[in-house]
Structure 1
Amino acid sequence: MNAIEPLDETTLLPDGPEETRKSDKSDSVSNNQFLAALFGNANPDHRPILVSFPGNPNEVAGSAWSGKAWEKGSAKLPDANNNYFSLAVFRPDEAGIYRRLKARFVALHAVMLDDVGSKVTMERVTLPPSWLLETSKENFQAGFILKEPITNGPAADRLMEAIVTAGLCDPGANGPRTRLARLPVAVNGKYEPAFPCRMETWNPDLRYTVEDLVDGLQLDMTTTGNKRRARSPDNHERHVDGDPVWLPRPDENAVLAGLRDRGLYKGPLGDGKHDITCPWVEEHTDNRDGGTAYFEPDDNWPIGGFKCLHGHCAHRHMHALLQFLGVDAHAARMKPVIRVVPGEIHRVVDAAERGLAQSHRHYQRGGLIVTVTTDPGTHETRVQDISQPALVRALAGVATWERYDARSEAWVRTDPPSRHSGVLFDSQGYAHLPVLNGLTRQPYLRPDGSLMSRAGYDAATGIFGVFNERAFAIPDHPTRDEADEAAKLLNGLLSEFHFADDHDLAAALSAILTAVVRPSLPHAPMFHVKAHVVGSGKSYLCELITAFATPQRGTPTTFPKEDEECRKLLLAELLRAPAVIEFDNLTSDLLAHKSLCTALTAEFMTGRILGVSKTATVNTRTLFLSSGNNVGPVQDMARRCITISLDPRIETPAARSFERPDLVRDVLAERGRYVSAALTIVRAWIDAGRPKSECKGLASYGDWSNLCRQPLMWLGFADPTNATFESMDDDPDREILDRLLKAWHAEFGNTPTMVRDAIKRASCSFDPENTNSQGELKEVLHDIALERGEINRRRLGWWIKRHAGRIVNGLKFVRASGNRSAEAWKVESVVSFSPDDF
């Protein structure tokens, strides 16, 4: 950070003549011209304060913010500094020193809206500003010069607070009367490199009265001061079964009710907009009735909006409509009121949660408060957990908060107390917030097999649908013929992929069905795409499958090396409810990390989320994909993963040309059509009575097998799980256990034998009559537990214990009874049953 150089007298150099006329070029306005336009008519003894320093303002404190008074014709500040001015003028103290203090306030000459373009939309600035200054990329400060400066301090505070309450500016650090704004010739040092401020609009002749600002910006002045009288908190009215803090929102919109009562309401226009007859239609040319709308309250329009396109009503805004209808601004907000009453923290926190729930924008997920949000850059919709500071802002948006002011004997507006929001944030459970189980980007199946085709939150399933309902067309009762046609459509997408076998093609189709119905399934296996060489289409097939789960492009990640890394990654990702988690280009086998195995066979997993001092339980309804060359699932992952093998059968697969090189882009362009085809297949199988084909059962995945395996076999495709059973048979642990069981049984028969005796037998000289079995025992014990040239007895015992009871080729290890000093093991023969025997 640069050294701090507070503003001093040597920096105040002549800047040329004063000028208050509109500049020919907005970006040519000097600081002195700008200040002269705002304060040129002020008493010479009453001056604004200028603040100037280099570096990052977030890292600057102390005297650098004190500043010096402006003198007419003297405001030459370093162009590379952060340069600010006070919106008000101040009088000097007894020593003749000017300070930016509330006690020295004289008059407010202008007001300012902040973060226009980022936090405040341009549409919300409903009055043309006197100046519009770009302070960072596409982010502006909008200023309004007052016709008559406000000399009453509390009145100035009320106006500034109303602007803050309307969401048009942040509260500031030192109070309304001492507020600073940026000068036009300056930089914003928060960025690297510093952003040079640029005057976008300069209209110094545009000046406003307080009434102009209140009406034009739709400010609510009724709750910023002491106008709302109430009885003392001990005697005020109680609401909702004796709850002293919760005043529920009105049952109906008072504005709509007033419009209907006066015959002015025509009908809804959608998205909270309503077509109405203008109350002043008689003033329109030819009494023309049309082009008038009312907007329901939202974040940008706290009390709603009114717009009449006729010129005679250009000056009329929402406050005019409220005055005509006789509706109080508080009633127009359509929000509940939460009163912060001492000694009632439990009720205040409960009311805060109730307000969040009634907003229909906040949910609970795994013990955290979350919302559904869409990234403005990627357009990806995800679940976002609410941090404690963000919770304060959310609470301010869902309710009007009040505290009792003893001096004015009135309930006045206030911010949600951080203490109460902290208690809500740290709560272990939430009684009012609906549970959010996951997101879906397409219509989905309910547990009874019915199709949910409406977007939004579904209380029955806890699923939030994020999709355009009109993009999907699934028959109510699809037939077998319609299912065949849908299968041909999907099969055509896979025609240029070279699968190793028919069951690999079926597995790819099964992955597509799984991608579509995954939000409806408590469990589903992972899908792994493998090939022998690069360029075989592994990643592209995963990208195609992903397109059926979400309209957004996938963001693959590397496979974690350790379970702890895997657990942290999964918890952080699953909290967001992603459609797909993909591990791309594996360089080792798909290891059986404990947390990954849990995510694939359990509906929920629990752990501590990074950055949050809470243990969260997250839903696992996400499609898992992976890919790699000559690697695949091993150990416990073998039964949790469906492998799709690609075999182009040429030396350089990457050199191939394709008839549809933009296949994924084409699918995304017509995603509704292809997803509807997948759902048609599943729904047709359900309507046909759920016919079952003969196949082996896949443990933990019964529901998945019914919706993503059986419909394909019903249509004549191979069993998608063939590769899974082959992987289980090829499990290295199974092979070693098979060898050990046979060698142990050959050496000891059914005799209980301790581990140390088995090691001793394997290590002694060969018995000429039993060389083969003894040599095999020694070799397999070496494979399992050789360490520093010797067989580790503890490691061998742990290995046998871990595999005890597992049957391989009719043999299994069992612990012998009656041995208390050490474990003795014997191999038993068992009768194996096939699924056909049941």
Structure 2
Amino acid sequence: MTATADTGPISPAANTAPADRLAIEIGGEAETIRVLTTALGQGALPDVYVSGGQLVHLSRVSGPADTATDHAHTTSAALPVRAEPLTAASLAWLLAHHTFTHRMKRNKDTEEFEPVETSPTKAALSAVLSSRYWPDVRPLTGVVTSPVLRPDGSLLQTSGYDTATGLYYAPTTPMPAIPATPTTQEVTDALTFVLDTLLCDFPFVAPADQANHLALLVAPILRPYLGCLTPFGLISATTQSSGKTLLAEIPGYLYGSKNLVWRKGDDSELEKAITSALHSPAPIMLWDNVAEGTVVSSAVLAQLLTSPHWSARMLGSSGAGFTAANNRLWLATGNNIRLGGDMATRTVLVRLDPNDPHPDQRDQTRFGIPHLDTWLKNPANRVTVLRHLLILVMDWINAGAPRSGHTMRQFTSWAGAAGGFLAHHGIDGFLDNLDDMRDTDDENTEWNAFLARWHELHGDRRVTSRILCQTAEIDVVNGQPVDRWEGAFLTDDNGRIPSVKSIGRLLTGHIGRYHGNHVLRSVKDSHANALVYWVETRTDQQQPGPDDTQDDSHQPRLPA
């Protein structure tokens, strides 16, 4: 077969190429660019797809699994295939191995034109790859190693490229077929295994913590079906050796994970880490063992969680950028982790408390699965876990995929589906620990105390930021310092009372936002030519109005 820019469809050539290779005749630089563009668009090379406007090639990688790059106990094994962006060098390699790319040259002895195999110039290859429009090339949305739900509710479980989703299914271990309609006994066995064998020995604080973990555990299976974002998963324990890392590793073993390093208070480094992580195909991104007592508060992370795509400028470049779909599950583990900023309303909390001074000395031989960390390293055991989860998912699908009434910021689609999945299987407690989540929000706790004390001191009286700061000054009574705010007034990072201007900016940023039962209000005082502020308090019997939904809209609302 031969391909040219002008002939259009690929046509036969007269014995100029090996039988198993496509003949591509090239000429000058411009003609070569046209010919190769046409050939690629017509599928001249195997396993070439387009992703985000860029041609990529699915290739296998020789050598042992890449498990040592992220963490000593990483669960991220190498994928059977990888999607690598085509470069001039890799395109030249593919052409040399899969085509007979040649130029016609005159034979000095016979004066006849004969094909001479050649490789296009780097400039021509780079020019071809510069195109961002490849309408006839199959789109690739990702590589998955485990079955996932298609948008129509069917299960993708046949290896290879899937036209309906644009996914390439490359199982790391042979997976038995999952029945489209599981039997009652299969569903019962699956539920018993997950609840009474796999998770039975984790010291969950409450049913909500187990339910939340299960919702996160099936999120990678549901993602293509739902086509939505998933919240941040935080696994927080009271002490070491509680099982938080192992709990996070379960989805890592099932789907593949990449371990990241959390750098406190450095959003620029976090942005670089996220950009680097999204170059990995791993569907689970894990910050494991975040330092004890860390306050997870990051505008960069908060933005990532609510954005379907991540964009960042490539390091060392002036204009080029990197864009990737945010289709991962982001998790973190640590002891007594706190939240700040907008993270509380973007996070699903899983708490562990062994209530044991020496949890590391528990007798694991008496566990439902002794030494679960070792057990999960066996591919056959991972298949067992995944099969049970898939049976539960397919049973939910066959019931009509019922939704619950849970709402959660930009994650309502996920929350409704996950809540419906859990309710269908009789698992209670999903998102019931939202109040405890708010207790981990240091900023919310600080503002709650500040507004409560403000209301005690000033009632409904309207004050300017200058008067408010004056009331924070320490009085001296009978030779003793007296703090009327009892330590509840806002302070900066150095523990000092902010300036009047800084307090004004802080107050403006919280107008109308509820902290507990308190909300800050403000109007412009035309006489003072300044904003005045006051605090309103609603009783437990009062219901929030349309403007009171900053926190309370995220409470689960179950259908009647």
TM-score (norm 2): 0.79
Q: What does residue 361 of structure 1 align with?
A: 47
Identity of aligned residues (%): 23
CA, structure 1 residues 367+633, in 2 after alignment: closer, same or farther (shift >3 Å)? farther
Q: What does residue 401 of structure 1 align with?
A: 101
The DSSP-based 3-state class of the residue aligned with 2:410 is coil
Query: Per-residue deviation at 1:399?
Result: 4.0
Q: What does residue 243 of structure 2 align with?
A: 537
Residue 498 in structure 1 maps to residue 203 in structure 2: yes
Please, which of 651, 654, 678 is the counterpart of residue 357 of structure 2?
651
Contact 1:814-1:827 within 8 A present in 2 as well? yes
Rounded to whole Å, the distance in 1 between the matches of 2:3 and 2:222 is 49
Q: Deviations over 1:290-332 (max 9, x none)?
A: xxxxxxxxxxxxxxxxxxxxxxxxxxxxxxxxxxxxx825261
Q: What does residue 371 of structure 1 align with?
A: 57
Q: Deviations over 1:559-606 (max 9, x none)?
A: 233222222222222222213211111104352323322333322211
Rounded to whole Å, the distance in 2 between the matches of 1:687 and 1:540 is 32
Query: Per-residue deviation at 1:419?
Result: 1.0
The DSSP-based 3-state class of the residue aligned with 2:343 is helix
The DSSP-based 3-state class of the residue aligned with 1:595 is helix
The alignment of Structure 1 onto Structure 2 pairs a total of residues equal to: 515
The DSSP-based 3-state class of the residue aligned with 2:311 is strand
Structure whose alpha-carbon radius of gyration is higher: 1
Query: Per-residue deviation at 1:794?
Result: 3.2
Q: What does residue 342 of structure 2 align with?
A: 636
Rounded to whole Å, the distance in 2 between the matches of 1:648 and 1:829 is 38
Please, which of 488, 491, 514 is the counterpart of residue 192 of structure 2?
488
Q: What does residue 548 of structure 1 align with?
A: 254
Paired residue type of 2:509: R
Q: Deviations over 1:67-102 (max 9, x none)?
A: xxxxxxxxxxxxxxxxxxxxxxxxxxxxxxxxxxxx
**Pairing of 1:137-176 with structure 2 (within 5 A):** none
Q: What stretches of structure 2 of length at least 5 have no aligned partner?
A: 66-76, 546-551
Rounded to whole Å, the distance in 2 between the matches of 1:557 and 1:780 is 36
> Could you tell which deviates more after superposition, 418-427 or 488-497?
418-427
CA, structure 1 residues 611+466, in 2 after alignment: closer, same or farther (shift >3 Å)? farther
Paired residue type of 1:347: R
Paired residue type of 2:441: D
Q: What stretches of structure 1 of length at least 5 have no aligned partner?
A: 1-222, 224-236, 255-326
Q: What does residue 686 of structure 1 align with?
A: 397
Rounded to whole Å, the distance in 1 between the matches of 2:350 and 2:388 is 21
Query: Per-residue deviation at 1:618?
Result: 0.8
Paired residue type of 1:712: L
Q: What does residue 260 of structure 2 align with?
A: 557
Paired residue type of 2:428: A
**Pairing of 1:459-538 with structure 2 (within 5 A):** 459-467=163-171, 471-479=175-183, 481-491=185-195, 492-518=197-223, 520=225, 521-538=227-244
**Pairing of 1:744-763 with structure 2 (within 5 A):** 744-745=454-455, 753-763=463-473
Residue 671 in structure 1 maps to residue 382 in structure 2: yes
Q: What does residue 512 of structure 2 align with?
A: 805
**Pairing of 1:596-615 with structure 2 (within 5 A):** 596-610=301-315, 614-615=320-321
Q: Deviations over 1:339-377 (max 9, x none)?
A: 23454476246336426x553422333454333344431
The DSSP-based 3-state class of the residue aligned with 1:422 is helix
Rounded to whole Å, the distance in 2 between the matches of 1:632 and 1:616 is 31
The DSSP-based 3-state class of the residue aligned with 1:722 is coil
The DSSP-based 3-state class of the residue aligned with 1:401 is strand
Contact 2:26-2:35 within 8 A present in 1 as well? yes
Query: Per-residue deviation at 1:486?
Result: 0.9
Rounded to whole Å, the distance in 2 between the matches of 1:674 and 1:621 is 23
Query: Per-residue deviation at 1:444?
Result: 1.0
Paired residue type of 2:148: Y
Q: What does residue 207 of structure 1 align with?
A: none
Paired residue type of 2:347: C
Q: What does residue 155 of structure 1 align with?
A: none
Rounded to whole Å, the distance in 2 between the matches of 1:672 and 1:631 is 32
CA, structure 1 residues 687+706, in 2 after alignment: closer, same or farther (shift >3 Å)? farther
The DSSP-based 3-state class of the residue aligned with 1:570 is helix
**Pairing of 1:197-236 with structure 2 (within 5 A):** none
Contact 2:311-2:323 within 8 A present in 1 as well? yes
Residue 340 in structure 1 maps to residue 27 in structure 2: yes
CA, structure 1 residues 347+651, in 2 after alignment: closer, same or farther (shift >3 Å)? same
Rounded to whole Å, the distance in 2 between the matches of 1:837 and 1:507 is 19
CA, structure 1 residues 740+537, in 2 after alignment: closer, same or farther (shift >3 Å)? closer
Query: Per-residue deviation at 1:789?
Result: 5.0
Rounded to whole Å, the distance in 2 between the matches of 1:458 and 1:571 is 27
> Could you tell which deviates more after superposition, 450-459 or 826-835?
826-835
The DSSP-based 3-state class of the residue aligned with 2:285 is strand
Contact 1:367-1:617 within 8 A present in 2 as well? no
Q: Deviations over 1:213-270 (max 9, x none)?
A: xxxxxxxxxx9xxxxxxxxxxxxx996xxx42766266xxx9xxxxxxxxxxxxxxxx
Contact 2:26-2:32 within 8 A present in 1 as well? no
Query: Per-residue deviation at 1:752?
Result: 5.5
The DSSP-based 3-state class of the residue aligned with 1:244 is coil
Query: Per-residue deviation at 1:438?
Result: 1.8
Query: Per-residue deviation at 1:681?
Result: 1.0
Contact 1:436-1:463 within 8 A present in 2 as well? yes
The DSSP-based 3-state class of the residue aligned with 1:389 is helix
Q: What does residue 380 of structure 1 align with?
A: 78
Please, which of 18, 25, 37 is the counterpart of residue 350 of structure 1?
37
Q: Deviations over 1:157-177 (max 9, x none)?
A: xxxxxxxxxxxxxxxxxxxxx
Contact 1:477-1:684 within 8 A present in 2 as well? yes
The DSSP-based 3-state class of the residue aligned with 1:795 is helix
Give the aligned CA root-mean-square deviation in angstroms.
Answer: 3.7
Contact 1:370-1:383 within 8 A present in 2 as well? yes
CA, structure 1 residues 401+496, in 2 after alignment: closer, same or farther (shift >3 Å)? same
Contact 2:258-2:282 within 8 A present in 1 as well? no
Paired residue type of 1:663: L
The DSSP-based 3-state class of the residue aligned with 2:151 is coil
Rounded to whole Å, the distance in 2 between the matches of 1:329 and 1:489 is 61
Paired residue type of 1:451: L
Q: What does residue 268 of structure 1 align with?
A: none
Q: Deviations over 1:656-695 (max 9, x none)?
A: 23124443444432333321211111221121123345x6
CA, structure 1 residues 523+559, in 2 after alignment: closer, same or farther (shift >3 Å)? same
TM-score (norm 1): 0.55
The higher relative CO (CA closer than 8 Å, separation ≥ 6) is in: 2
Q: What does residue 700 of structure 1 align with?
A: 410
CA, structure 1 residues 458+422, in 2 after alignment: closer, same or farther (shift >3 Å)? same
Q: What does residue 832 of structure 1 align with?
A: 544
Contact 2:150-2:165 within 8 A present in 1 as well? yes
Contact 1:490-1:509 within 8 A present in 2 as well? no
Contact 2:59-2:84 within 8 A present in 1 as well? yes
Contact 2:340-2:444 within 8 A present in 1 as well? no
Q: What does residue 25 of structure 1 align with?
A: none
Contact 1:738-1:809 within 8 A present in 2 as well? yes
Q: What does residue 440 of structure 1 align with?
A: 144
CA, structure 1 residues 755+547, in 2 after alignment: closer, same or farther (shift >3 Å)? same
Paired residue type of 2:330: F
Residue 566 in structure 1 maps to residue 270 in structure 2: yes
> Could you tell which deviates more after superposition, 643-652 or 590-599?
590-599
CA, structure 1 residues 539+740, in 2 after alignment: closer, same or farther (shift >3 Å)? closer
Residue 244 in structure 1 maps to residue 1 in structure 2: no
